[in-house]
Structure 1
Amino acid sequence: MTAAARVALVIDNTRTQKQRSKRTAPTQSFLTDKHSIYGGKAEIVRTQQSGGYWHFRMWISEESKYVRKTLKTKHLDTAVERAENEFFAIKANLNSGKRIFSPTVQQAAEEYLKHRWEVDVKRGSITEGRWGTIKSQLNHFVAYCGIVGRSERSSVTRLSDLESKSLQGYQQYRQQKGAKDVTIKNEQATINALCRWAFDEGLHSVQHYVFPSISRRGVDADTLRRSTYTDDEYRRITRALISYTSNKTAKAEFLSDEERFTRQLVRHFFLTGANTMMRFGELYQLKWGNVETYSAENQRLVTINVLAETSKVRQSRVIKVRGGKHFDRLRSLSKHTKQGDWVFTAHNGERVTRDALYYHYAQLMTLAGITDWKERNLTYYSTRHYGITKRLQSNANPLTLSKVCGTSLKHLTETYYHADLTEQERAALLRYEGSSAEVVELD
């Protein structure tokens, strides 16, 4: 640095210090009266613009901020009495670990997610995937609160701005975004879980938010039917999988060995999902040490140990299902088949990414000619729907099936009653014959 530059820097610093002193000096002259209470731990002040009314002021070292509050009186004795009450209330909150200044909704959501990660994910109470779902749900909550804040001309929405009925418009907001009622209901449960946590932590004065009731209806038969595959669509997808992973296609598209194997992983992820009826997260986190194939009645079956830490319901289960041949084939293709290896491990030794799975899924839908798959919400989870539906239509024992799927019998029967409706339709079309082979019509 040249001498001229050093001189310029000194002059600039001097100007900055003068500017600072100019900013701080009026603060003292702005006060017209000041009295300390409890040895200066707090004070009451009057300013040029307070109209003679006293204000309470206290420095909160834990949060590096001043508490400022009007005492709504011009009388000194009354002001001192009210200030002492404020002081004791603040000290009581601080001693109990409560914060004085409310965090923003964004900050509260971030702290809650950090809490859930440390307390639940690391201890195995919930899966990382479930934590990601909670994060996604809270993102919608934060976005909505931002809209509410802007409508009230507030750039930042704090938890203290929200009252118990402040989220009455949340359902309509999410419906306009295309969210289904069941999705909104789950989001509201997560939001109230955050609210209870914030209340317990002393961050919020509200224990829970009051949402307009969403009537609990059975899953609409047409809705669930649309969110799974028809038999024809399933056949088209399985044919597309064969073509998508064939040597002919690999040569035509100049695919690398890594890309060819990724397509095989996608193929087997889809087929094992339909055969095992496992949830996406359970299948995605499956390791070879928890898979054992065997033969029974000329079929290849598989025993799978679904670990509690990978299950949505946090309960382990051992299932015996079809699809052993798909695991056998994948094992023969994979380089990573040790006990601790992920079943769906890419050539590089890392688990295949979710992005890769969903990218190829979109390609498969196009190849199979299913153009409305996004509108119908067809995903890998639809393979579970399809597998359960077909087994119910094949008269599988619902109780046994619920145990295999890791869900309750009540949920199974309520959710998949569209399969029962299909069977009722078939029964209605049956013709019953008497002993003389005379057709008996049921009118």
Structure 2
Amino acid sequence: MPTKKVTTNGTEVAIFDNAVIYKRGEYWHFRYWLTKERKYARFSLRTTNLNTAKVKAEGHYHELKAKEYAGITHFSKTAKDGVAMYLAKREKDIDINITKGRFSTIKTHLEHWLNYIKRDTKLKELQITDCEDYYLKRVEGKTKKQTLSATTVENEQSTINAMMKWLYKHKETNLESFEFTKLKRVDRGDESLRRNSFTDDEIKRIGIELDKYIAEALQRINETGNLVKAIAGYYFVISIMFGLRRGEQIQLEWSDYEEFEHKVAKKDYNLVKLTVRAEISKVNKTRRIVEKDIGYFDDLFKLQYPRITAYQKSKPKDEQKKFANTLIFSPNGDTAISNRAIAYHFDKIIKLAKIENIEKRNIVPYSFRHYYITQKVNSGLVPTSVAEIAGTSTTQIENTYYHTTDAKLIANAFAGYVIKDGLLIPT
């Protein structure tokens, strides 16, 4: 495309300043020089008649002039270009104010938006109402197994508008944000909308099966697949104990783990403290969690230490890591256990423990975190304390987990009484 104004020749007809119509084959075309953008705007007039061509060209001319007066450029980057620009900017923010996990989430959210808006859509042509049907399109065709929560869509919409605000600041769009259709307020008391968790009885059964699962793997630890099987078993046990997010747990290093003793009422307790570093935390904030030690970390340490140290010594000296800096849930200390392995062994454990209605309840590995948080809530901890332990906001805890469980309802019904020998006795 030419980068400067050109003069007319015998086949061109000047109609306005910087504008001409010209023939290409039998048909007339329009060309207008955009001074600020230093490019030509070109349109096919789709007519062989000169007078008709002049009328159509005049319409294009006035439209372009109106854009110029309004400060709107004619040429525009595509939605795909805009997303790429924004992601490049956000990638630079990793370890400054976002984590790698958060960046991955932003990338996923914007990929869904591109599928909706179409990748070749011009940024300058976007209208404020273009995303009114975003929620409907996102849930379209989803099966019961593929349920998509309103909260998930709201989070996507927030990411999209954050990008639009940034693009608007950099003069790549003509609008600062979309007006999404407001979603129905979620009924936090609706049983079906609670976080999908386990019952206490199910966790007991899962715990029993996990002990067997780990023991079986340890008996033949050198057989193919058994090391990962054992690590997966420990991963689930510790997930139940600490309620970490997957992205946080798989990035834990041995330096993040600490054992110590604490005396309460003249009784000694063995405790474990895990440090979730800011760089691996979803919320980019360091937190520490202390729970009672029931021996699993010590067993995992005994399994991992000789193997990982031997592997590290086999590497070139400049690539070796100290054991403290290796990953806890990893066959070699360098590469974390895969999502596929976690999903595979989770399904095995769930079947062994005979957990029912998995699909209907949407039970997944993350459900261990839901169970952990629910237990903290039911123990009487205030929302602020639970939020601090879980690495989330107080509002999130209040809205999502402070539902009335059956256990709470029964306890409330018998407030002020104890049951003894089948009889209700006032306390």
TM-score by length of 1: 0.73
Structure number with bigger Rg:
1
How much does 1:369 deviate?
A: 2.6
- For structure 2, the residue ranges without an aligned partner over 5 or more in a row are 1-7, 46-51, 309-321
Q: Residue 245 of structure 1: SS of its match in structure 2?
A: helix
Shift of 1:68: 3.2
Counterpart-to-counterpart distance in 1, 2:203 and 2:226: 22
1:399–1:200 Cα change, 3 Å: closer
Work out the number of aligned pairs and report it. Answer: 382
For residues 189-222 of structure 1, give each alpha carbon's deviation from its aligned partner in whole angstroms, at most 9, with x where no partner exists: 1111121122122221111000111133354552
Worse-matched range after superposition: 222-231 or 385-394: 222-231
What residue ranges of structure 1 are gaps of 5+ in the alignment?
1-27, 38-42, 94-98, 150-155
Match for 1:343 among 328, 343, 353?
Answer: 328
The aligned counterpart of 2:151 is 182
Match of 1:281 among 247, 257, 270: 247
Aligned-pair distance for 1:70?
Answer: 10
Shift of 1:293: 1.1
Q: Residue 377 of structure 1: CA displacement?
A: 2.7
Q: 1:314-340 CA distances to partner (integer Å, 9 max, x unpaired)?
A: 222233223463222211111347221
Larger helix share, 1 or 2 = 1
- Deviation sequence 1:66-98 (CA, Å, 0-9, x none): 4337999969xx99x9799689779x88xxxxx
- 8 Å contact 2:259–2:273 — kept in the other structure? yes
- What displacement does 1:386 show? 0.7
Q: Which residue of 1 aligns with 2:272?
A: 302
Instruction: Establish whether residue 160 from structure 1 lines up as the match of residue 124 from structure 2.
Output: yes
Residues 90-239 of structure 1 mapped to structure 2, 5 A cutoff: 101-118=75-92, 120-121=93-94, 123-146=95-118, 156-176=120-140, 177=142, 178-217=147-186, 219-223=188-192, 225=194, 227-239=196-208
Partner of 2:392: 407
Cα distance 1:419–1:278, how it changes in 2: closer, same or farther (>3 A)?
farther
* SS at structure 2 position matched to 1:113: helix
Counterpart code for 1:309: E
How much has 1:299 moved relative to structure 2? 3.5
CA distance in 1, matches of 2:288, 2:424: 47
- SS of the residue 1:344 aligns to: coil
Preserved contact between residue 294 and residue 301 of structure 1 (Cα < 8 Å): yes
List aligned pairs for 1:236-385, cutoff 5 A. Answer: 236-247=205-216, 256-257=222-223, 259-296=225-262, 297-323=267-293, 325-335=295-305, 336=308, 338-347=323-332, 349-385=334-370
- C-alpha separation in 1, matches of 2:187 and 2:27: 64
Q: TM-score, normalised by structure 2?
A: 0.76
Partner secondary structure for residue 358 of structure 2: coil
Q: Distance in 1 between matches of 2:217 and 2:350?
A: 20
1:251-309 CA-to-partner distances (Å, cap 9, x unmatched) read 5xxx7456222122212222222222222222222111121112334443112222222
Task: Measure how far apart 1:174 and its partner are.
Answer: 1.7
Contact 1:275–1:323 (8 Å) recurs in 2: no
Distance 1:203 1:427, change over 3 A: same
Give yes or no for contact 1:398–1:409 (8 Å, CA) kept in 2: yes
